[in-house]
Structure 1
Amino acid sequence: MEVLGAFLYKRSVSEWKSTLKALKRIPDDNIQAKLQISFDALNASQKDIFLDISCFFIGMDKDYVGCILDGCKLDPGIGFSVLKERCLITIHGNSLMMHDLLRDMGRYIVQGTSLRNCERWSRLWDRDHVIDVLANYSGTDETEGLSLKADVTAVENFEVKAFSNLRKLRLLQLCHVALNGSYENFPKGLRWLCWLGFPEEYVPRNLHLRSLVVMDMQKSNLKRLWSDQKKPQESLKELKYLDLSHSIQLTETPDFSYLPNLEKLFLINCQRLAKVHESIKVLQGSLILLNLSGCIKLGELPLELYTLKLLETLILSGCSQLERLDDTLGELESLTILKADYTAITQIPSSSDQLKKLKELSLHGCKELWKHRQYTNSDESSQVALLSPLSLNGLICLRTLRLGSCNLSDELVPANLGSLSSLEELDLQGNDFRNLQTDFAGLPSLQILKLDNCSELRSMFSLPKKLRSFYARNCTVLERTPELQECSVLQSLHLTNCYNLVETPGLEELKMVRVIHMEMCNNIPYTDRERIMQKWAVGANGGVFVPGSSIPEWVNFKNGTRSISFTVPEPTLNSVLVGFTVWTTYVSQQDDVMSAYIPKITLKNQTKGDVWSRNPATDLIRMYREKHIWQGHFSNEDFVLETRDEVEVSVDFGDKVAILETGITLAYREVIEVPNVQLTEIDDEVDNEQLTETDDEVVIDESQRRPPRKMGMGLKTLLGAFGLLAFIVVLGKHGRPLRRHNHLRRNKVEKDKEKDATLLIFSFLDY
């Protein structure tokens, strides 16, 4: 339905009728033929993209696949968009995904009428078929793509000449495959060569790769890309993407003069790589990404690297012997991402203030960063000078800054941290400062602040007003958070194991917090914890974790087991049940350990025979030997509970967590009532502890409602009438159907009431 609906969207009536006639001619059980109607409407290049994805690229990175298909002249930019619009592919994260039925349809199309003659297929993906073609030397010019994946413990061996008849091969994927013989007649039109576990120490000189766009040879046995005595016969001018990651025998990067147009280079975890070839300067007009993370033998970068004017991403994390970046770092004028986590870097060059486009700077775990070293020409020995804080001047576009575990003391916190007006995420976790005096309120864009494991932190000056997530777990001596009331859009608060915390001022006033973690915060008075829980339970949509041995007294329904049964009560006012909050006390034999079990809530509607299972919108459960309370909110949109429904709710935190008690509170939304001639409205002055207002509704706990206050006829009443009329009209035009068929029932009395209310408004307007 999704595929056909996307295909017919915005088409004319005649096209709809024509498509419906075609569908009627196809048997009901032939789903693939019906799906193929959408495929047949694609142009030639879009069909090729769809078939390539269905056979080779499901689950792969969109940009990676796009580079390959662009090298095949298939226009992946518009192609991906069309396939996505037609619901023939989906993109999750940045991965290309396809429904199994669509994948099977694509492969069926490839097979065509030659079901038993796989050598005639344009693409070969099945292991048995590929082995049959290669073992019998039966390949043909019709094959454009081939994939053979063997197990690492059972390497497949073939003769190179088995590929000699595959002259139009453009896509080749081999995994743990060894080839014997000369590569003289190997396919010369390859655009994609993915050979994981390549067994040779050098790429053969007579392997012609002049058309290659993507070379992916991870986990290879390469020592160098080419032997010094056997350089390639010609440059790989089309090559844009080279990945030699996890090639642990590799000692040196290739001579880049043979790769003049390379754009992305990955050398991740090449543990013996000790040198970046100085010819990298030839890439100053092309290279945009260089990833050297985990190259633990790499001690320095060539000066030529700093001439790469187009370089946008430089990743050096885990290069544990790398001690310095050159003063010409600022000449990388296009640099937007610099990651140098867990390196031995002692300082960031002063020229970094010229990196006007830098958006992400990550120096996590650089414990020597604040020590300025001066090198002598004689013995390269170093002398440690006075400690000095990092300067962040000039980084006007910086959005993410990570300085976690950098031995930051009060004196070494960057003084100009508060001037980073574009900063959105700041990570200072695991440092040694005691009094964080930075005025975070002056950072207008900061949304994520991480201070986890700052075991010496005692006080903070302020928090940013647009903060959405605040992490201060294991800040064991912190006694008070800054004022939280100003953080009006805060959505998650993480204060786990803040043993000395006694106050979180303003927390109970926040309306958008979805998740609150306060495990082991035993010094916060229980009355404060209860007030936070009561305020949150009315209108939030997430979960709260606090220390406690019993569910609060004001919770409506309670039971001393992991499940609870109740009957949905008759509302005392004109209101709609919009959700419910589940409460439970729990304990474990393990202490301060994260459970691997995903918590689950099961709801059984005994009246309607429905059974639902849901995972709470909170994180995994952290287990403690001390008792804790968890509460989680669930919307009634999923369950559609109605008055007098017999309901059972059970909580499951896994076999390592004991559930001691379970409780339920119900939340309702008030609706406007129109009795006789007068209109009613909700009292504007309802106490904050009883109401939580959201943009579109007022949610009231079942036990916290009061009668509406009536008003005389006036301007406010007239506006209310117009508003309700608009609501009824819009609801009638755009109202969404409920999820289950048996929930579509509405009795005649309810319909008559709605009709009477509508007529009353029209009568009032006529008057």
Structure 2
Amino acid sequence: MEVSDEVRIIGIYGTDGIGKTTLAKAVYKRISSCFDSCSFLAEVEETTQNSHGIQFLQKKLIHDILERDRADLSFDERIEDFLDIFREMKVLIVLDDVEKLSDLHAVVGNQLDWFGPGSRIIVTSKYSGILEEFDSDKARNYTVSELDDGQAFELFRKHAFRMQSSIPDYDELSNRIVNAIEKLPLAVEVVSSFLRGKSIQEWIKMEKLMTARLMSSQKTTVGLHELLDICYKELDQQQKDIFLDIACFISGVDARIALYMWPSCYLSSGRILMSLAKIGENNELQMHRLLRRRGKDMFEQGISGDPIGRKFYIQEKGKENVEALPINFTAQNLQMMPELRFLKLDNVKVSGKFEGAFASLRWLCWQRCPLDFSAENFVLTELVILDLSWCQLTEDWGGWSDIKRSWDISVTSISELRDSIGNLKSLKVLRMDSSFIRTFPGEIGNLTMLEELHASWCRSLKGAIPGDIDGLHRLRSLTLGHSSISSLPLQIFTISGLHTLDLIQCNEIEELPKLPPSLICLRVSSKRMKAIPRLEDLKELEELCLSDGDPKARRAPSKLPMPESNVKRMIDEQFFSISFPKLRKLELSLLQVIKLKFGLTDIPPLKRLKTLTPPGLSCSDVSELPQKLLAFKLYHSAIEEIEGLEGLEALKRLDISNCKIQNLNGIDQITSLRSLILSESDDLSLPDLSNLKSLKVLEIIRCKMISQIEGLEKLTSLEKLNISECPAEKSVQVPGCIEACNGSFSGYVMLDSPQF
């Protein structure tokens, strides 16, 4: 991607399943750090098919570029209202799967004049002419071709064997299967992932099924749809049900919630149903849009092989066998539907008698439901998930009854939960995120089956969490971030199975009680924190995020003794000790700590410790860093010196931002370093970097003291160089580096100096 101050738009074209989105994501991830703000707008065509789809995309773009904590839930603001701000920013925007030029214009304009100099817009589409109305000097087009035989076989091995090399007994069979299918990455992934872990007899069966399909269709290769049909027929009935459920109704839903739909199914992390569905980084169910589309076609056409005979509800068809209603409809459409499992209503009022109806209903999504509830016998005995988002309900709503396992009242105006909630003995998940709930009911401890309690972004939630919480013996996840709670009860220590506790930006908390040793993930930050919590017993911790103040109010290191209450919560008066043997991610912003110490005697090998991030530390001695550390992030810190940096033999990424640090002595000995990112550190100077032969990424942004970069021209592995708003951009080493690294650069060179 060439460097230019002009706004440029890049089109990535190719047939469905060719890998356009994958390519766009890879580019986005690689160059996003070179821009002021970034936004990835996925599945534009599908989004615009929904009501307010364009407004949703515009709101997400505004949210991403302005880096808001949370998007406004209304559509009152127009993107045109923010153009004066956008035109001052260099942004990276990806619009994935665009089919209509009007959608593109609605989001990024039609003259490329909505965003600041140097901005880049990437568009993926199956239509090569989607950019033809833009200035040809500012638009670039790239076509993604099918895989060649070697690439297809390499991708097949990766998914079938989870390795680059193949298994001898499978080599010839693998070649025949790869040669028989379309060379689309998605098709290769589907069949290879489906065969992973299966016996050679099952591989031979797959080859025979593919051969039979080729003979019947008289084609030279098996297409994606044919492969999907073959794989679908080989699933057992429960797997077929799960595939159709995800394809038609719940793609993108939290997998931990969806699990309650299939009580006897275990969803392992990462991948389910072989290659047909996955679980993303945020636990969301993922399925490629082509697979979803094919699943919906099978569902609607009644060719899914389901013995119940699933079908979409259509006005003129009978309803006795309907198993899912994903559409909006009025009250008069409601009739006896004994096989209905999913029901989605939007702004629908129901009335009448419902005795015996919805006997199989397990998931009810009722958005914008009216305050008036006049239905009789609306008993949902099999219901496991209730979604009442976007509603204006109160605690007096007449529909609070017969909820079984999962209760989602997110984004409602409910401000109080009655104590009668304690009667929901089977409730497993309670979600109240972004609601107006003010307090927890005192009877919450009676929800003895509860496993997850979510109340993040409940700004009205204040005061202490009730002590009755100790009755939640099965509780695994408690998320209360961005609320105004002031304290946790001492009884929380007795919840022996608690794995996740999220108290991010709970700024009224002053101290924490002793926490259960079962915790795996602990996230705590408060501007009012008076004392560092005692964490030495949390030996199961894998992720720790801890902040005891506001980084914006950073103060100079204190030489005065700590208050006695704080000292009691430290290992000693000088150090905050880190000794969690399973720790993988660590993020600290501790304004009360002078020195940070890693208790190496308690941490074997530290092979699992991946990320160290201590922002806001008022620390002058960081000498005992783990030797196996892979990534070290330091930001909003008063640290002036790091001792022992040369001992980080395995360090691959060093990221320093908004710090008082003066030098990086020893960095030249970290030959494993792959990425060095420095920004907003006015006192920092650099030693000679010529020994960092493995360095691939170097970014230096707004560091006023760095005028020369000694050894830059010897960094022959560099792939990305970004030097801006500091004297170093004019140094003589820069052009020499570009010339020396001409063969290795991937084209990502960002320099603000006019001479480049």
Report deviation, 1:265: 0.7
Cα deviation 1:387-439 (Å, max 9, x = unaligned): 9456437644444443326254xxx2245566674454332323444xx3221
Report deviation, 1:467: 2.0
Distance 1:389 1:176, change over 3 A: farther
Tell me whether 1:519 sits opposite 2:701 in the alignment: yes
Distance 1:17 1:240, change over 3 A: same
Report deviation, 1:30: 9.6
Which residue in 2 is equivalent to 1:429?
A: 615
Q: Alignment partner for residue 591 of structure 2, among 406, 411, 422?
A: 406
Q: Alignment partner for residue 674 of structure 2, among 491, 494, 516?
A: 491
Q: Alignment partner for residue 428 of structure 2, among 234, 240, 253?
A: 240
Distance in 2 between residues matched to 1:483 and 1:394, nearest whole Å:
25
AA of the residue aligned to 1:471? D
Which residue in 1 is equivalent to 2:466?
A: 277
CA contact (8 A) 2:249 2:326 kept: no
Q: Alignment partner for residue 308 of structure 1, among 470, 473, 495?
A: 495
Report deviation, 1:254: 5.9
Which residue in 2 is equivalent to 1:21?
A: 212
Report deviation, 1:189: 0.8
SS in 1 for 2:577: coil
Distance in 1 between residues matched to 2:368 and 2:408, nearest whole Å:
13
Distance 1:269 1:489, change over 3 A: same
Which residue in 2 is equivalent to 1:448?
A: 631
Cα deviation 1:674-710 (Å, max 9, x = unaligned): xxxxxxxxxxxxxxxxxxxxxxxxxxxxxxxxxxxxx
CA contact (8 A) 2:630 2:653 kept: yes
Distance in 2 between residues matched to 1:445 and 1:219, nearest whole Å:
44
Which residue in 1 is equivalent to 2:531?
A: 347
Distance in 1 between residues matched to 2:738 and 2:565, nearest whole Å:
66
Higher mean alpha-carbon deviation, 175-184 vs 544-553, is at: 544-553
Distance in 2 between residues matched to 1:63 and 1:316, nearest whole Å:
20
AA of the residue aligned to 2:524? A
Report deviation, 1:277: 2.9
Distance in 2 between residues matched to 1:498 and 1:258, nearest whole Å:
53
Distance 1:271 1:371, change over 3 A: farther
SS in 1 for 2:659: coil
SS in 2 for 1:146: strand
List runs of 5+ in structure 1 lacking aligned partners: 376-383, 559-576, 588-626, 628-657, 662-767
Tell me whether 1:287 sits opposite 2:481 in the alignment: no
Distance in 1 between residues matched to 2:318 and 2:562, nearest whole Å:
65
Distance 1:319 1:552, change over 3 A: closer
SS in 2 for 1:103: helix
Q: Alignment partner for residue 358 of structure 1, among 537, 541, 552?
A: 541
CA contact (8 A) 1:139 1:163 kept: no
Report deviation, 1:353: 2.4
Distance in 2 between residues matched to 1:341 and 1:555, nearest whole Å:
43
AA of the residue aligned to 2:319? E
Report deviation, 1:355: 2.5
Which residue in 1 is equivalent to 2:150?
A: none
Distance 1:203 1:535, change over 3 A: farther
Q: Alignment partner for residue 142 of structure 1, among 318, 331, 339?
A: 339
CA contact (8 A) 1:137 1:163 kept: no
Cα deviation 1:14-73 (Å, max 9, x = unaligned): 55234432454359799756632221211111011111111222122333323x23xx33
TM-score w.r.t. length of structure 2: 0.62
Distance in 1 between residues matched to 2:505 and 2:701, nearest whole Å:
33
AA of the residue aligned to 1:131? F
Distance 1:585 1:204, change over 3 A: closer
Report 1:558-707 matches (<5 A).
579-580=744-745, 582=747, 586-587=751-752, 627=753, 660-661=755-756
Distance 1:48 1:303, change over 3 A: same
SS in 2 for 1:474: strand
Report 1:157-556 matches (<5 A).
157-159=349-351, 161=353, 165-178=357-370, 180-182=373-375, 184-202=377-395, 207-209=400-402, 212-226=404-418, 228=419, 231=420, 235-253=423-441, 255-273=443-461, 274-283=463-472, 285-296=473-484, 298-326=485-513, 329=514, 332-348=516-532, 350=534, 352-366=535-549, 372=563, 388-389=573-574, 391-392=576-577, 395-404=580-589, 406=591, 408=593, 412-415=594-597, 421=603, 422=606, 423-433=609-619, 436-440=620-624, 442-454=625-637, 457=640, 460-463=643-646, 464-475=648-659, 478-505=661-688, 507-521=689-703, 523-524=705-706, 526=708, 528-529=709-710, 531-532=711-712, 534-536=713-715, 538-545=716-723, 546-548=728-730, 552=735
TM-score w.r.t. length of structure 1: 0.61
AA of the residue aligned to 1:236? L
Which residue in 1 is equivalent to 2:106?
A: none
Distance in 1 between residues matched to 2:638 and 2:565, nearest whole Å:
32
Distance 1:222 1:502, change over 3 A: closer
Distance in 1 between residues matched to 2:480 and 2:745, nearest whole Å:
51
Report deviation, 1:169: 0.9
AA of the residue aligned to 2:657? R
Q: Alignment partner for residue 59 of structure 1, among 242, 252, 275?
A: 252
SS in 2 for 1:509: coil
Report deviation, 1:139: 4.6
SS in 2 for 1:339: strand
Distance 1:126 1:310, change over 3 A: closer
Report deviation, 1:140: 1.2
Distance 1:419 1:466, change over 3 A: farther
Distance 1:289 1:360, change over 3 A: same
AA of the residue aligned to 1:287? L
Identity, % of aligned positions: 21
AA of the residue aligned to 1:413? K
Distance 1:520 1:22, change over 3 A: closer
Distance in 1 between residues matched to 2:325 and 2:747, nearest whole Å:
49
Cα deviation 1:51-102 (Å, max 9, x = unaligned): 1111222122333323x23xx334143798562x2x2123432332212232
Report deviation, 1:509: 0.9
Distance in 2 between residues matched to 1:407 and 1:427, nearest whole Å:
16
Distance 1:104 1:462, change over 3 A: closer
Tell me whether 1:124 sits opposite 2:330 in the alignment: no
Distance 1:372 1:311, change over 3 A: farther
Distance in 1 between residues matched to 2:533 and 2:750, nearest whole Å:
54
SS in 2 for 1:90: strand
Distance 1:450 1:163, change over 3 A: farther
Cα deviation 1:620-652 (Å, max 9, x = unaligned): xxxxxxx2xxxxxxxxxxxxxxxxxxxxxxxxx
Report deviation, 1:141: 1.2
Q: Alignment partner for residue 300 of structure 2, among 102, 106, 111?
A: 111
Distance 1:429 1:459, change over 3 A: same
Distance 1:342 1:118, change over 3 A: farther
SS in 1 for 2:230: helix
